[in-house]
Amino acid sequence: MASAVAMGWTPFYPQFERNSLDVADEARAAGKEIPAYVAEQLASGDLPLSVTDPDNPKNWPRVLSVWRSNLLGSSSKGNEYFLQHLLGTDSNLQGEQTTDGLRPSEVTWPDTVPEGKLDMLMSIDFRMTSTTLFSDVVLPAATWYEKGDLSSTDMHPYIHAFSPAIDPPWETRSDYDAFGAIAKAFSAQARTHLGTRTDVVMGTLQHDTQGAMAFPSGIENDWRKTGEVPVPGKTMGPLVVVERDYAAIADKWSTLGPLVDNLGLTTKGVTTHPTEEVAELAAKFGVMNTGAGAGRPAVTTAERMADVILSLSGTSNGRLAVEGFRELERRTGRRLVHLAEGSEERRITYADTQARPVPVITSPEWSGSETGGRRYAPFTVNIEELKPFHTLTGRMHFYLDHDWIEEVGEQLPTYRPPLDMSRLFGESALGTTDGVGLTVRYLTPHSKWSIHSEYQDNLFMLSLSRGGPTMWMSPADAAKIAVRDNDWVEAVNRNGVVVCRAVVSHRMPEGVVYVYHAQERTIDVPLTETTGKRGGIHNSITRILIKPTHMAGGYAQTSYAFNYLGPTGNQRDEVTVVRRRSQEVTY
Ligand SMILES: Nc1nc2c(c(=O)[nH]1)N[C@H]1C(S)=C(S)[C@@H](COP(=O)(O)OP(=O)(O)OC[C@H]3O[C@@H](n4cnc5c(=O)[nH]c(N)nc54)[C@H](O)[C@@H]3O)O[C@H]1N2
Ligand SMILES: Nc1nc2c(c(=O)[nH]1)N[C@H]1C(S)=C(S)[C@@H](COP(=O)(O)OP(=O)(O)OC[C@H]3O[C@@H](n4cnc5c(=O)[nH]c(N)nc54)[C@H](O)[C@@H]3O)O[C@H]1N2
Ligand SMILES: [Mo]
């Protein structure tokens, strides 16, 4: 990972061992261009990358804001590691420090492991969750029937509106207003504390940019090993200098800024220029009279923000869809405009989406075609219109000649057996039992009775099932450890402990158990027999294992793209010992 970050293949925050605002000041004081100064400092080792020493207090993340996610109850694999190292709370972590020979060689390893790196965890939610439980500050969110908002993904042919049936009750606010309020309070403080500073941001060599060809053939060339001074945007991520007027953040928050006009909007390498739309929004909302946003469209409510989003996307603004396809025609030599031509006059507004679900317009932002009322399917435009794929060859591409992918022999699609957790981490071998505990594969697939952690805490759902956390198990495995349906069981591995009830079902194959994603620690989580502490959740016995090929970047379609191409969490290779426990549970 240190190498991937150094070469700009994958992002990592914090960036540098020193505050990036101070680094920019240092460059000025030294009379140097900021990017050149940073590159020199990196090369000389005077400015270490945070990723090379993540346990050094200088490199700890200090503030974490969680919004519209349930990090500690849902997404984060390795819950107990988060609890111990990030939060410094009670945890059921069972693991020992990795022994010398197995430690990464390019990352500094501390003698004592850090506990509680974060100073503050803030979350915004409308439920009590496994994340809000641990948060220092919880901002109550308005629900979907108490605020204006939008919902849409690439796979959905419709844009849906959230419309308030009532105003946000008590202290709740829309997410837009919550962040607006934070911006206001922050900006007032910033007048005395931060003012205007210059920042330097280390970007990543991204897919669909020139950076995607910075490392031809994916040939590894780590400047830290060669001793060269890295070249931003070529042998490392690009360095961008940004003026930050911290006191103006609230003003900027409530307007649509000038970069939309100056730079246009770029998605997947296609840039559109929404100049007309900015003028339309200014006419519709009026403009701010004073402050940093003076003269810019006033985006003062969540509903207005929804309209801004809709007017700037080709999927909801036919003019931009057509403009984008024209640009794409020039680039590809293929005729494409016809996919959106009939929609040129269409403008989907927030009010339209409130009246009824509105189908989207085919646009170069996605690869599907909804033209003529079709349903979305990925890569339709590539297959039917011969728009080149965003690969090295422009075709569907199976052979990957990237160094890091070659190193593990995955140039072509190939079968990889699950990792042997017994050999790697000393877990007992699969299928073994001492008559009390049985070692099984541990899977945590998505639940049919919830969307992630949502709805599993609904009283109807709890009444229809066991009313708390469960583990699905085959009759054969249950028999080996004398477990009957609905018995309490305890699962332990090096990562943590889970206590739940067994659902013994012939639908499970022998050797595998399911603890469905994502059952929270807010419902029926007893003390464990293993630690005497309150047990964990499904992610207490998982752990993040990053696959190195997911960080192979800087080269064509293997380049990083935000929310598209990058490391994924992995929880599929986990094993655990499970046993019947005392049926007397206490809390
Ligand atoms: N072990 C294991 N771990 C996994 C997975 C797995 O299969 N197994 N799956 C992974 C995958 S694919 C995903 S996508 C992630 C999902 O992980 P998360 O996205 O963290 O999970 P959710 O439970 O959907 O969390 C959404 C939270 O947002 C809140 N919320 C909903 N609407 C709003 C809103 O309008 N405003 C605000 N402020 N809050 C709102 C909900 O109450 C909920 O608490 O989990 C990942 N983690
Ligand atoms: N009801 C409901 N629907 C959802 C969601 C939800 O939370 N609830 N979440 C949505 C989201 S964000 C996502 S990402 C998708 C996820 O949807 P899917 O990708 O379908 O995810 P899972 O259900 O986690 O896993 C699918 C299957 O993979 C199997 N599996 C586990 N390990 C392996 C393995 O090593 N090899 C193979 N071949 N199979 C394996 C599991 O047994 C499981 O049956 O679902 C979406 N839809
Ligand atoms: Mo997901």
506 in ligand 2 pocket by Cβ < 6 Å?
A: no
pLDDT tens by residue, 375-413: 889 999 999 999 999 999 999 989 999 999 999 999 999
Instruction: Please name which ligand lies nearest the alpha carbon of 444.
Output: 1
Closest C-alpha among 345, 344, 343 to residue 359: 343
Q: Is 196 helix (H, G, I), strand (E, B) or coil?
A: strand
The whole-model pTM stands at 0.94
Residue 82 DSSP symbol: I
For residue range 27-36, list pLDDT tens digits in order. 999 999 999 9
Please report the pLDDT score of residue 399 as a whole number: 94
DSSP H stretches of helix in 300-442: 302-312, 318-332, 350-355, 380-384, 403-407, 421-425
CB distance 147 to ligand 1 below 6 Å: no
- What count of other Cβ atoms lies within 10 Å of the Cβ of residue 491? 28
Binding site membership of 543 for ligand 1 (Cβ less than 6 Å): no
- Output the tens digit of pLDDT for each of the chain's 587 residues: 999 999 999 999 999 999 999 999 999 999 999 999 999 999 999 999 999 999 999 999 999 999 999 999 999 999 999 999 999 999 999 988 888 888 888 899 988 889 999 999 999 999 999 999 999 999 999 999 999 999 887 677 899 999 999 999 999 999 999 999 999 999 999 999 999 999 999 999 999 999 999 999 999 999 999 999 999 999 999 999 999 999 999 999 999 999 999 999 999 999 999 999 999 999 999 999 999 999 999 999 999 999 999 999 999 999 999 999 999 999 999 999 999 999 999 999 999 999 998 899 999 999 999 888 888 899 999 999 999 999 999 999 899 999 999 999 999 999 999 999 999 999 999 999 998 999 999 999 999 999 999 999 999 989 988 889 999 999 999 999 999 999 999 999 999 999 999 999 999 999 999 999 999 999 999 999 999 999 999 999 999 888 999 999 999 999 999 988 888 877 889 999 999 999 999 99
Q: Which one, of 331, 440, 392, lies nearest residue 554 by Cα? A: 392
- How close is the Cα of 325 to the center of ligand 3, in Å? 30
Residue 542 beta carbon below 6 angstroms from any ligand 1 atom: yes
With beta carbons less than 8 A apart as the criterion, state whether 148 and 306 touch: yes
Distance between CA 157 and CA 349 in Å, rounded?
16
Ligand 3 mean position to 64 CA, how many Å? Answer: 21
Strand partners, 512: 441
Grouping H, G, I as helix, E, B as strand and the rest as coil, residue 151 is strand
The runs of H, that is alpha helices, within 372-520 are: 380-384, 403-407, 421-425, 459-464, 475-480
Per the CB < 8 A criterion, the answer to whether 121 and 134 are in contact is yes
Residues in the chain, total: 587
Given CA atoms 258, 262, 268, 272 in this order, what sign does their dihedral have?
Answer: positive
Q: Can you give the C-alpha Rg of the chain in angstroms?
A: 26
How far is 89 from 110, CA to CA, in rounded Å?
20
Among 69, 155, 416, 446, name the best residue to mutate to test ligand 2's pocket (greatest count of ligand atoms within 8 A of Cβ). Answer: 446
Asked if 535 contacts 83 with a C-beta cutoff of 8 angstroms, the reply is no
For the chain, give me the number of helices (H) and strands (E)?
17, 16
256 CA → ligand 1 middle, Å: 29
Pick from 317, 280, 275, 312: which is nearest to 297 by CA? 280
| DSSP tag of 360 | P
Closest CA to 555 of 378, 404, 379, 407: 404
Counting from 1 in the atom list of ligand 1, the atom nearest the Cα of 444 is 8
Cβ-contact 534, 525 below 8 angstroms: yes
Ligand 2 lined by 396 (C-beta under 6 Å):
no
> Is there an atom of ligand 1 within 6 Å of 130 CB?
no
Strands 63-67 and 120-125: parallel
Ligand 2: which residue has its CA nearest to atom 45? 446
Question: How many angstroms separate the most distant Cα atoms in the chain?
Answer: 76
Establish whether residue 443 lines the binding site of ligand 2, counting it when its CB lies within 6 angstroms of any ligand atom. yes
Give the CA angle between residues 538, 153, 302 to the nearest 5°.
100
User: Do 173 and 142 contact (CB within 8 A), yes or no?
Assistant: yes
- The residues that bridge with 184 in the sheet, in sequence order, are none
The owner of tokens 């940073």 is 38
Counting atoms of ligand 2 from 1, which one is nearest the CA of 518?
Answer: 7
Could you identify the atom of ligand 1 that is nearest to the CA of residue 141?
Answer: 38
- The Å distance, Cα 573 to ligand 2 centre, comes to 14
The pair phi, psi for residue 216, each rounded to 5°, is -55, 140
Domains of the chain: 2-242 (3.40.50.12770), 254-385 (1.20.1700.20), 421-580 (2.40.40.20)
Point out the ligand nearest to the CA of residue 133: 1
* Ligand (nearest to CA of 572): 2
Of 260, 301, 300, nearest to 278 by C-alpha is 260
507 C-beta closer than 6 A to ligand 2: no
Write out the two tokens for 172: 């709740």
CA-CA distances (angstroms) from residue 509 to 443, 447, 506?
12, 17, 7
Q: From the CA of 451, how far away is ligand 3's center (Å)?
A: 10
Q: How many CA atoms lie within 13 A of 583 on its CB side?
A: 7
Contact predicate 444/516, CB 8 Å: yes
In angstroms, what CA-CA distances link 130 with 70, 72, 79, 82, 127?
7, 6, 10, 12, 10
3-class DSSP state for residue 172? coil
